[in-house]
């Protein structure tokens, strides 16, 4: 089911045109304008720091970090940075384009239906998430590439290559930490080889790969500084070096929304020029709010475990649905879940679109289209014409919950055994 783009297919041509336009959004300001902004100059800076042997982080973990990722991404950025800004920006744009194509291909191949979808069905998730893709190109963020890595890891896992799958999960984790949330799932499902591979390769990518470039002792010191500054900090002001974003409306993680609902935190704090605004329903202290977050997270985790069918009853359909739920949970479990993080809903949306098209039950198909429309409507509340209050209360988080409800329903209510889409056990 996986294939290359073809100039003979109109939708593939449209995809290529979109990629060219999005790449132009990156390169034109740099070549003919005042220079590309957002995160692109930071990536070039990080690559140059490695090339020149300079520090990636300040000596004091409490100081502000310019670069908030582990050392490995800086090592990878150094390669195209050696050629200059334009080659680096072009390389990142091509990576995003390839990741976009692979995300669509893998998501459509992993729905469990065993069917090659029609071109419009296959393309519909891409249309539904195109604003997130624009953010990936415009901002220069790696979340789309990480999504393709995680999907490829699951594709390899499901096709008898557990060590390769674990390696891909590890690479995504070593670039941006939040994909580590896949590890508890692998352990619960007793994917021992994949879990062992992931743990081993995380160590390799974090400790061994940067060592020849940065030096072993220096890399350890930088990892220690990064960990203390990013992972080991948490207070009422925020966490992970970006306190002004942690409690503001831009963050729709479970942690952030829970704190905004239980504490009188200013959700306008990302912009000091804006008047302070709060939205809490009750008033708790920071410590108690963290206990609420822990309780909510535990309930969600236990609910996910309860929904999972036993290994003897797993089918390709149910496996696709549980992996799609996992992607939803990994998205909202990240401490910082900005708008573009919800690009990771691509797989859940794809799975539900397939169910809405091929499920033999008319009522189920109609209800699934209704759920997809509701989730899409909630996501549209992020457009600038609406108040940021709607994002502060978690419109994308609510959309994710709607998708999860639909996926859970399909796990608990599979098609009849004699249905033409009932598939074999995995």
Number of neighbours of residue 253 by Cβ within 10 angstroms: 23
At 70, is the pLDDT very low, low, confident or very high (cuts 50, 70, 90)? very high
From residue 380, alpha-carbon distances to 375, 391, 398, 424 in Å are 9, 10, 12, 37
Write the pLDDT tens digit of every residue in 346-373.
Answer: 999 999 999 999 999 999 999 999 999 9
At 273, is the pLDDT very low, low, confident or very high (cuts 50, 70, 90)? confident
pLDDT above 50 for 425: no
How far, in Å, CA of 80 to CA of 90, rounded?
9
pLDDT for 3: 87
Mean pLDDT for 183-209 is 97
pLDDT above 50 for 426: no
At 61, is the pLDDT very low, low, confident or very high (cuts 50, 70, 90)? confident
Write the pLDDT tens digit of every residue in 210-259.
Answer: 999 999 999 999 999 999 888 767 667 667 666 667 888 999 999 999 99
DSSP string across 273-327:
TSPP----SS---HHHHHHHHHHHHHHHHHHHHHHSPPGGG-BHHHHHHHHHHHH
Specify whether the CB–CB gap between 244 and 270 falls below 8 A.
yes
Backbone conformation region of residue 218, classed left if phi is above 0, alpha if psi is from -120 to 50, else beta: alpha
pLDDT for 244: 65
Mean pLDDT for 268-272 is 74
At 145, is the pLDDT very low, low, confident or very high (cuts 50, 70, 90)? very high
pLDDT for 240: 66
pLDDT for 245: 73
pLDDT for 27: 97
Write the pLDDT tens digit of every residue in 117-138.
Answer: 789 999 999 999 999 999 999 9
From residue 354, alpha-carbon distances to 112, 179, 349, 396 in Å are 9, 25, 9, 22
Sign of torsion, CA 357 359 360 361? negative
Mean pLDDT for 396-416 is 96
Lookup: tokens for 20: 């060219």
Instruction: With H, G, I as helix, E, B as strand and everything else as coil, classify residue 399.
Output: helix
């Amino acid at each position: 089911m996986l294939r290359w783009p073809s100039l003979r297919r109109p939708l593939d041509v449209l995809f290529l045109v979109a990629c060219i336009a999005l790449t132009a959004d990156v390169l034109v300001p740099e070549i003919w304008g005042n220079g590309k902004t957002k995160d692109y100059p930071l990536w070039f800076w990080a690559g140059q720091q490695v090339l020149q042997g300079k520090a990636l982080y300040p000596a004091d973990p409490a100081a502000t970090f310019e670069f908030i990722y582990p050392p490995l991404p800086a090592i990878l950025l150094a390669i195209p940075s050696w050629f200059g800004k334009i080659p680096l920006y072009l390389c990142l744009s091509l990576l995003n384009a390839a990741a976009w194509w692979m995300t669509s291909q893998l998501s459509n191949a992993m729905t469990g239906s065993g069917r090659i979808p029609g071109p419009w069905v296959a393309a519909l998730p891409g249309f539904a998430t195109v604003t997130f893709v624009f953010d990936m190109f415009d901002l220069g963020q790696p979340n789309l590439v990480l999504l393709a890595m995680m999907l490829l890891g699951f594709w390899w896992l499901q096709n008898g290559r557990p060590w390769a799958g674990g390696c891909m999960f590890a690479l995504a984790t070593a670039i941006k930490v939040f994909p580590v949330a896949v590890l508890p799932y692998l352990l619960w499902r007793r994917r021992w080889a994949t879990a062992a591979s992931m743990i081993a390769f995380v160590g390799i990518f974090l400790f061994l790969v940067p060592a020849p470039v940065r030096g072993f002792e220096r890399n350890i010191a930088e990892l220690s500084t990064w960990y203390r500054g990013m992972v080991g900090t948490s207070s009422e002001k925020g966490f992970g070096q970006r306190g002004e974003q942690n409690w503001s409306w831009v963050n729709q993680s479970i942690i952030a929304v829970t704190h905004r609902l239980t504490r009188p935190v200013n959700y306008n704090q990302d912009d000091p020029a804006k008047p302070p605004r709060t939205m809490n329903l009750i008033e708790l202290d920071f410590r108690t709010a963290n206990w609420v977050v822990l309780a909510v997270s535990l309930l969600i985790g236990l609910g996910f475990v309860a929904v999972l069918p036993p290994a003897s009853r797993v089918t390709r359909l149910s496996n696709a649905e549980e992996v799609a739920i996992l992607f939803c949970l990994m998205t909202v479990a990240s401490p910082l879940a900005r708008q573009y993080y919800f690009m990771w809903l691509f797989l859940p949306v794809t799975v539900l679109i397939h169910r809405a098209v091929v499920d033999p039950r008319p009522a189920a198909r109609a209800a699934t289209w209704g759920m997809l429309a509701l989730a899409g409507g909630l996501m549209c509340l992020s457009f600038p014409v609406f108040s940021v209050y709607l994002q502060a209360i978690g419109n994308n988080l609510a959309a994710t919950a709607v998708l999860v409800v639909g996926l859970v329903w399909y796990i608990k209510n599979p098609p009849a055994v004699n249905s033409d889409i009932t598939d074999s056990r995995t």
